[in-house]
Structure 1
Amino acid sequence: MVVIGILIALQVNNLNEERKREIKRQELINSLIIDFETSLTKSQESLKETDKLIKNMDLFSDLLQSKNQVSVDSLKSLATAFFRMISFEPSLTFYSQAKNNGDLELLESKDFFVKVNQFEDRNTMQKKLMDNFLQGYSTGYIWELRKSVGSINNLKKDSSSSFFWVQSNTETHQEYYDLMTSPLAIAAMQTHKVLNESLRFDLILLERLSNEILSILKEEKEVVK
């Protein structure tokens, strides 16, 4: 009877420990879902803004050489897109905490770890794109262009005012055209468009991976041990 009593006590203790572990696992899953839902929203917003920049870059290139001249202010407003890049920082507070304290071992899905590793790798790549963009202001084409024109503000317009599709002064328009079709300006604009297109690609993949990770987490949440 003593042995049986000990075995029953051990079984009850094991059940209690398993119950506590399951509660902790569900709390972890809920926290991770919050992380990746927030990151998904942020990546979608960044993608939307990046799409706007690329659209303005294409429109600028078309209008710059258009026979229907537009105001230089309008061109400068569009040209601002070449000197911007949308930063993206995922919200992974709970994930980082769980990774540091070893709580991720509560998850049994191997797919989760595969997808999260892919997410982290892709996020590292998009951060490098931002670093390349910023370096351009100190060592790259933008730096050379700044030395040539004196200030980037001579090429762009920071305020997002509405465009005025009006006939501009021919001489002023020609001067701006000559400035923006110089080899340095073309190199800088092409480089930054490529960087933004690469960022767009990364954001699309991050969005897809976030959705896949959320799907895995929600499936695991339904599995009650």
Structure 2
Amino acid sequence: MIKLFRKIRQNLLIENQPGRQPNKTRKYLKYAVGEVILVVIGILIALWINNTYQDYKNSQLTNSFLLDFKRDLLADTRVLDKRIKTNETMVKNIDSIIIFFQTKKELTSKELHTFATYNLSIMYESYFIPEKSTLRQFESSNNNNLISSKLLKDKLFEYHTINDRNEKNMETSVQLYQHNFFTRDFMKLLAIKEFKMLMSGLTPALSQESLKKITLIEDYWVSLFQKKGLTENQNKNYSEVSLKAKEILKLIEAKLKK
């Protein structure tokens, strides 16, 4: 292109020499058009470079968000797996308490220790609060278009919506019940004289009569079965959330490999 303009300029100089008939208008027009084309090409190249750089920056930012989402989801799945195992143990311990009263006429010191351990274990409060740091950053950045996959965005939205619903409803209900009812009813068990004596080592076993007293603590048994039901329902929710988290992790891995 530059050679072409140089040639046109040389021709213009030659035509301006004495004795030659100039055809300046057409030559100047060619030169002007060429200059315009050069400017347009320069602008297009600049735009291409700018767009390429912007695409690179967006790609880097997208990968950064995806890696952060992956980190949060992995942390969530680890916590959920731990909560699920703890809750499964809690349900087994509640079943063991029930079996104690169905099959034992009295509890030896060793059995009472196990019985007390089971009761203490079900005092544990299990709850799950997901990691939301990346989600908040992503929403505040106004860069929702960085994640092009509609499926991935929908799954992320669904995941956090379910967690918000569980946190506001199920998790709050479990904690309120734990504080207001189960702890209080458990203390009624500890208030039984024979139970306190056995825990203090003053008597070697819990007699059938003492066991019968425990069975008559209606609030304790209601709380026990209620705790079992809430824990099983909680685990059902945790399993659902964990499954969705693992589905999203697969989608993120696929995007990162591209």
TM-score interval, normalised by the smaller of the two chains: 0.7 to 0.9
CA–CA distance in 2 between the matches of 1:108 and 1:191?
Answer: 45
**Residue aligning to 1:134:** 175
Q: Write the deviation string for residues 27-53 of structure 1: whole angstroms up to 9, x where unpaired.
A: 111111111111111111111111111
Report how many aligned residue pairs link the two structures: 206
Alpha carbons of structure 1 residues 154 and 204: separation in structure 2 relative to 1, 3 Å: farther
Q: Does the 8 A contact of 1:64 with 1:75 survive in 2?
A: no
- Point out the more displaced range, 108-117 or 33-42: 108-117
**Residue aligning to 1:196:** 231
Aligned-pair distance for 1:181?
Answer: 4.5
Q: What amino acid does structure 2 have at the position aligned with 1:88?
A: F
| Paired-residue identity, % | 16
Q: Does the 8 A contact of 1:39 with 1:92 survive in 2?
A: no
**Residue aligning to 1:220:** 255
**Residue aligning to 2:97:** 60
Q: Does the 8 A contact of 2:123 with 2:183 survive in 1?
A: no
List alignment gaps of at least 5 residues for structure 1: 156-166
**Residue aligning to 2:137:** 97
Coordinate RMSD, CA, aligned: 2.5
**Residue aligning to 1:34:** 71
CA–CA distance in 1 between the matches of 2:124 and 2:215?
Answer: 16
Aligned-pair distance for 1:13?
Answer: 0.9
Aligned-pair distance for 1:206?
Answer: 1.3
Q: Does the 8 A contact of 1:180 with 1:186 survive in 2?
A: yes
Aligned-pair distance for 1:134?
Answer: 2.5
Find the residue that maps to 1:120 and give its secondary structure: helix
TM-score normalised by structure 1 residue count: 0.80
List alignment gaps of at least 5 residues for structure 2: 1-37, 193-203
2:125 aligned to 85, 95, 99, which one?
A: 85
- 1:50 paired with 2:50, answer no
Q: Write the deviation string for residues 33-80 of structure 1: whole angstroms up to 9, x where unpaired.
A: 111111111111111111111111111111122136433332121123
Q: In the TM superposition, what are the counterparts of 1:86-165 in structure 2 within 5 Å?
A: 86-127=126-167, 128-137=169-178, 139=180, 141-142=181-182, 145=185, 149=188, 153-154=190-191
